[in-house]
Chains A and B, each alone.
Chain A
Amino acid sequence: MSVRFEDLSVGDELPPLARTLTRDDLVRYAEASGDRNPLHLDDAAARAAGFPGVIAHGMLTMGHLATCLTRWLGGPEALERLTAPFRAPVFPGETLVAGGRVRALDASTRRVELEVWVTVEYYDGGNDQWMLEYDGTTAPYTAAPPVQLQNTGKWRLHTFHLTDAYFGGRQNVGADLRLSDLSWADGQTNYFGRVWIARSLPGNQPPDLVAPNRVAVPVGKITQIPVSATDPDGGLISLSLDRSVDFATLVDNGDGSGFLRLAPAESDMRPCPFRIRLLATDSGNPSLSDAATIQIILHPYAVFLPVTIR
């Protein structure tokens, strides 16, 4: 049982926690804390110090107050500071009642751990990696696992599931996250589109189909072009041809992968490229698709025969 910041209002009362202290409690606290001052254990010593008998450790009273707070907060993590002025002695047999009232709430300094899903739209050009760095609870520059580019020439989506986001604006004087090109090895700038941040798992997301942009295949020969699709939701994917040509067939392995089987004949040769449109459709409800267009350029199959010239 713990409180949530959102549910609090100024003036709210903490559930009071009562405890009647016994001499045994004082002995137990002395042993556990290491504070064996005779003032808390020996009546004669207490009388010599001007009290009618033993008094409880101030720290036992404070410990009881801390217990009241951790019960209300659900644990010790949220407790940042506690000050206890000890105004009067507490004698065995007396009942301590710990409680409190919410005096102020400051939404700007509250610390909470957020579970969020961040979806980034990015242009898949080049062969390097890009990364998301976010303001996390452990560090203002927490890195999510990098994303590898596959040079498909498409705008794609990637969703990160962050369980320790803090988003306190501690990056670069006020930012919650940043997207960066992890290396300049491919000499290409990375482009990013929209970013969505959700407090719950996003609904069904379209699959992500990876296929080459352009292929050159010889006529009179069979060429296989591998294609593959993944579903961010982990659903099943079916592959299909949306627009095709006579010499192309699609083989769907059923696991998101497959290949295009191209068997062009000499008679298929023409000067401009063919376009095939491939679809990957997920099993969500409603189901969503991703499409890829592949340009096919046919060229003569070159056969080199051994020729001997005398």
Chain B
Amino acid sequence: MAERFDAVVVGAGPAGSAAALALARERFSVLLVERGRAAGAKNMFGGRVYAWPLFDLLPEWQKDCPVERFVTRESMVFLHGGASLALQFDSPRLGDGRAASFTALRPRFDDWLAKKAEAAGAMLITGIRVDELLMEGGRVRGVVAGPDRIQADVVVLAEGAMGPLAQKAGLLPDLAPPAVSVGIKETVDLPAATIQERFNVGEKEGAAFVFAGEASMGLRGGGFLYTNKASVSLGLVVSSEDLARKKAEVPAVMEGFRMHPAVQRLIRGGKVSEYSAHLVPELGLGMRARFSGDGVLVAGDAAGFLINNGYTFRGVDLAIASGVAAARAAVDARARGDFSAQGLASYERHLRELNVLTDLETFRSAGGYLKNERLFSLYPQLLLGITEKVYTVDGGGKRRISDIIRKEMKGKAPLLRMVRDLIEGARSM
């Protein structure tokens, strides 16, 4: 009883569901396979979705999308010692139009998007893990799950970070430690009213924070906080290489972050209701091998479509857009009657048209930028040291700001190198 579909999509995360949805609309018979009990059941992320790709994919998305809050307030916080320095940006326009971003909970968001794919005609099967790609004469002909072999013209791998199937198919380089970060997240329950009051936002509005400096105890990476309806998502993304090198334990790093007074103020009185950890691919575009092969396309995190530049964290939007691009490539291939790598070659063009690759290229050097450890420990320390002196009035005689800066920086960072770091950083952003 061999089953056959035009397309099989592996993984019902944002990339897979978007691909399945777009394919089904193009009258592909689509099988969307998710190993979790339900789409999103086990998935986690920081908490914010940039909405732009939804406007095209699902023009009516706002009707029923499980939005927690629209982000209308952005903050960047530097931590050092017990001190913190916050930069805050408010604008009602942040939550407007195509530039809108919103906080969401993955179990609900992923489930919503997967159901949209189902409504469009894709067959969603949960609780089944795809074990292997079905190979025939060196090309992908479908998938293998348990005793079953399901045939398909094209397989879209949207299996998330690390992409073991894509790796097996020879599409990805091995992800050795430097190329991955570890994401840790806690959900802290707080009453909606408390959130509105504490973060000074309206009922449907929310705040987003990024933390630098001691957020990650000097490890490269940063912290984040997003407000949901009645909880906040609090977490860290830290380099797994640094974790190993400095022999730091993930829970200890998280504890250090949570206990910082600046963080404590924001989560005071809350109850941790969930804890999870996840890998974040961090490989720069340069390391990317191929996004497609004979009969197969790779989308979302599995293809490394992720931007983390210290102040924005974009994965879900790129995942959705890349899923759509994959569907377009499959449509082109069908028109040509050729699902080989060549037939699917338009994938890259569609990725570009949908700004996935272009945005990634813009941030190409972000990986390198993030490698600069000084940005995560030394500079926040300097910044806070200086600020503290500026605001300290203790009768000991006030000095000029330029003197303070010079004194603070003495022996810690040659001014030139700092200027170079900052310029490089600004460029990569």
Pair from one complex = no
What residues make up the interface of B, taking CB atoms closer than 8 Å to A?
none
